[in-house]
């Protein structure tokens, strides 16, 4: 038996929660986390009582806002790499896409950059960890410590995002591909092959991530 469609009340509650999360993400992207709950509800255009129907504190809302961004990012990576068998290629596609996200979806990017990526259990980090371990098991990567390899990848992802925001005229696609190629070489992929992997076409990011999240 199919699940019943959400009621009007459930749809309204979902819209209210989404509005609060979007408002919180906007403040996080602007570096304004020391705001009052009233400012958050005003930005979301909801009442104060509606806030407490969904969250017990501002901290809980900000946590949910970051998790929402990480989950949407992770869903895009899963869609992009579906059906790929080579862990080196999966890693490269995910990293190259993430690099391009900083310019195309700057608000989402800045929320993601607020997270310690290497320690997160959502978004890029668990997928990069999985792909690094799979690459080692398949003999594609010659990495002695997968956790240190993840730290290198996460550090590169964070610094690349910060650089692209600080240098708006830099070519984000070229920079993302070059960093990814260098990481593949560091992990043991031959230089020529690493270059070939990072020159393969990617699907349009806007097709996978709606512009409303920008």
pLDDT tens digits, one per residue of 24-76? 888 888 888 888 999 999 999 988 888 899 998 988 998 888 888 888 888 88
3-state helix, strand, coil in the chain (%, to 5): 70, 0, 30
**Confidence (pLDDT) at 208:** 54
Is 210 part of any domain?
A: no
pLDDT value of residue 66: 85
Q: Determine the average pLDDT of the residues in 134-144.
A: 95
Do 65 and 111 touch, CB atoms closer than 8 A? yes
Q: Does some domain include residue 25?
A: yes
Average pLDDT over residues 11-35: 87
**Domain span holding position 51:** 8-56
- Give the pair of three-digit tokens for residue 81: 């790499």
Structural domain contains residue 209: no
Rounded Cα–Cα distance for residues 9 and 73 (Å): 28
Is 89 in the same domain as 39? no
Residues 149-172 pLDDT 10s:
999 999 999 999 999 999 999 999
Among residues of the chain, what percentage have pLDDT more than 70? 91
84 shares a domain with 51: no
CATH number assigned to the domain comprising residue 97: 1.10.357.10
Residue 1 has a pLDDT of 47
Residue 89 belongs to some domain of the structure: yes
Picking from 19, 102, 104, the residue whose alpha carbon sits closest to that of residue 68 is 19
Query: What's the pLDDT tens digit per position in 174-212?
Result: 999 999 999 999 999 999 999 999 999 987 766 555 543
Cα–Cα distance, 125 to 110 (Å, whole number): 16
- Specify if 214 maps to a domain: no
Q: Is the pLDDT of residue 213 over 50?
A: no
pLDDT at position 126: 87
pLDDT computed for residue 211 by the predictor: 45
Same domain, 52 and 69: no
């Amino acid at each position: 038996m199919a699940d019943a469609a959400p009621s009007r009340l459930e749809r309204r509650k979902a819209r209210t929660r989404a509005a609060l999360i979007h408002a919180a993400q906007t403040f996080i992207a602007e570096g304004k986390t020391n705001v009052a709950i009233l400012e958050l509800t005003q930005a979301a255009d909801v009442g104060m009582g509606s806030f407490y129907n969904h969250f017990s504190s501002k901290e809980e809302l900000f946590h949910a806002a970051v998790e929402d961004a990480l989950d949407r990012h992770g869903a895009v990576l899963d869609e992009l790499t579906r059906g790929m068998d080579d862990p080196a290629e999966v890693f490269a596609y995910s990293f190259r896409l993430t690099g391009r996200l900083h310019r195309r979806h700057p608000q989402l990017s800045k929320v993601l950059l607020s997270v310690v990526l290497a320690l997160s259990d959502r978004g890029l980090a668990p997928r990069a960890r999985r792909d690094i371990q799979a690459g080692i098991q398949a003999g594609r990567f010659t990495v002695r410590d997968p956790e240190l390899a993840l730290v290198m990848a996460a550090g590169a992802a964070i610094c690349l995002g910060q650089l692209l925001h600080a240098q708006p005229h830099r070519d984000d696609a070229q920079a993302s591909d070059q960093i990814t190629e260098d990481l593949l070489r560091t992990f043991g992929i031959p230089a020529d092959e690493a270059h070939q992997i990072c020159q393969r076409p990617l699907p349009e990011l806007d097709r996978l991530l709606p512009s409303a999240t920008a």
